[in-house]
Structure 1
Amino acid sequence: GSIVRSDCSGDLSTTCKPCPSGTFMNEPNGLHNCFPCRNCAEDHGLYIKSKCTTMQDSICDVLDDHYCIEFLNQQCSRAIRHSVCKAGQETKTQGTKTTDTVCVDCTYGFYSPSGLKCIKWLNCTALNEMQTEDGSSVKDVTCRPTRGRYGLLCGVRLKK
């Protein structure tokens, strides 16, 4: 937490002074300058987990929905937002502080309008309905009820 104010000379021993705000010293030293505190910038996807003191550097952590892409001295120095799956895809593996989200395309017969989960197409036949539109990876098939055809037979008797 301190650095050299004045070096020893003659009968005078070395004197020390505390590190100023925004700096720290975490080891015995003969230095004249403290180390600058780490910046846990939100625009780098980080936040301050532990504030810098005169004896310890800031400890940064990764923001939610972000993952680390650069490390410096075994700490994350830059993180970016997790990927978001697109329509026609689903999340295979949710992102963590060290890995990105993994997206996969919906297989044939499934759709995902929002990119969250692939859902099986409706089976119109099982619903006793007719398919009117094909499905795709982003939309379900369209069904409509089948209508039975009813006819009305009228008999008309003609007089002779």
Structure 2
Amino acid sequence: MRKCQLIAYVMLALISQSYTISNFAISGGQTVKGTCPDNEYWNNKGFCCDKCHPGFKLKEKCPEPNKRSECVKCENGTYLDNSNHNENCFSCRKCNKDHSIEISPCTFKSNRVCGCEPEYYYKKLGDLAWECSSCKKCGSGQLIAVKCAGEQNTKCQCKENHYAVKGKNLCELCVKCQDECPHLCKSSTPPNPLRSANPTSASGSIPQILVPVGACIMVLALGVFMLYEGIRLWKKKRHALSSQKSSPASEDQTLIITVAPDTEHDESVPFTNQPCGTEQNGKLPDCVPREIKFHEFFYFVLDEVPFGRFKELVRRLGVSEQSIDRAEQDHRNSKDAHYQMLKVWSDSGSGGGNNVLPCHRIQMFVDTLKDMYLVNCADNIESRFLSWDPSTSH
């Protein structure tokens, strides 16, 4: 049995070897089809031929192995950009479209590159078709995000505080609370920071230690605020006491202050917020406050109130959105526009006379600033216009 198996293996080996030798003899010792190097190609005569270089086309194939093919250079207006065995060259592209220009010329090794004139971009319409299309123009309320160049059309985006109008190439200014203007929407109930600290929340548990830490931070902030208010009130009270001690007038004396008449108005205007004593023996009252001109007050306010909080302030004072928009449209300078908003607020009040602000209006202004937590601004305005000092009267 083993002897038969051994004889079978020997016969198979001899058959395999004879098959390989016969194939080699049939092919004449040449390379098998499909195994040519990258710089050669298979000739239908049964051997590999060399390819032509870029810019050259095949004129005659190699007559036998190890013989070179005959190649000729591409004619003007044609090219071949790769090694090849083509018998014809490709025709160069023509830049004959409307508003088209030549970027690089046609050579025997490369095709012509076409582009478009300024204000136009290269738009592909298929594998070979193309055209020069006009660049997109950004509409009202938009600015350029990506410039029009090459194959890229203009891309536009909305300006700050604007939103895109559906179906139109423009953006409009945010003037009210809506989906596109969430920054104008204010929640009526402030979020509770402790409500989100639920350790059993399905969206992800927050460590329980954040709850006492947040409470401590809130208590600390409240304590600092109360301390600041206490120091501020103490300083104000001490200033009032020092002013009373330094006053030369006694309780039995009548303080008479002569106020120079205003060059612009014939009549003096009462300062309605200062307490004045009654007339005695036909003399002047105990206090005659100075006039506060609105332009003096306005320019002081413009330097004190932060720029980013100014619109919030005039809205709280009752100035309408229409008046705010009109002031911004009439004045390109922001400071002039804010001055106009203050003028609208001043004209909407009563009392004080021509070009003069009554004291109760200034007090309302100060209280509004305090409600906005602009305490330093409120204190500066209050000490400048509401703390009467004989040395500052004019």
Q: TM bucket by the smaller chain?
A: 0.5 to 0.7
Matched, 1:81 2:134: yes
Deviation at 1:77, TM superposition (A): 4.0
Distance 1:82 1:72, change over 3 A: same
RMSD, matched Cα: 3.8
Answer whether contact 1:67 1:82 (CA < 8 A) is retained: yes
Larger-Rg structure? 2
1:21 pairs, out of 65, 68, 76, with 76
Deviation of 1:101 after TM superposition, in Å, equals 4.6
Aligned ranges for residues 31-110 of structure 1 at < 5 Å?
A: 31-43=86-98, 45-70=99-124, 77-85=130-138, 89-93=140-144, 95-97=147-149, 98-102=152-156, 103-107=169-173
Gaps spanning 5+ residues in structure 1: where?
110-119, 127-160
Distance in 1 (alpha carbons) for counterparts of 2:100 and 2:110: 18
Task: Name the structure with the higher helix share.
Answer: 2
The amino acid of 1:105's aligned partner reads: C
In terms of fraction of residues, the more strand-rich structure is 1
Q: Is the 8 A contact 1:67 1:95 kept in 2?
A: no
Q: Which amino acid aligns with 2:77?
A: G
Q: TM-score, normalised by structure 1?
A: 0.52
* Contact 2:115/2:122 (<8 A) preserved: no
Could you tell me how far apart the structure 2 residues matched to 1:106 and 1:30 are? 62
Closer, same or farther: CA 6–121 of 1 in aligned 2, 3 Å: same
| Percent pairwise identity | 18
Secondary structure class of the residue paired with 2:147: coil
- Range that drifts further, 97-106 or 29-38: 97-106
Pair 91,40 (structure 1): closer, same or farther in 2 beyond 3 Å: farther
Q: Does structure 2 conserve the Cα–Cα contact (< 8 Å) formed by 1:60 and 1:76?
A: no
Are the aligned partners of 2:136 and 2:153 in contact in 1 as well (CA < 8 Å)?
A: no
CA distance change for structure 1 residues 9 and 72 in 2, over 3 Å: closer, same or farther?
farther
Structure 1 residue matching 2:95: 3-state secondary structure? coil
* Residue 96 of structure 1: how far off its partner (Å): 1.9
| SS in structure 2 at match of 1:121 | helix
**Alignment TM-score, normalising by the size of structure 2:** 0.24
Which letter maps to 1:104? L
Inter-partner Cα distance in structure 1 for 2:85 and 2:134: 42
Shift in CA distance, 10/85, structure 1 to aligned 2, threshold 3 Å: closer
Q: 1:3 aligns with which of 23, 48, 57?
A: 57
CA distance in 1: counterparts of 2:174 and 2:91, whole angstroms: 56
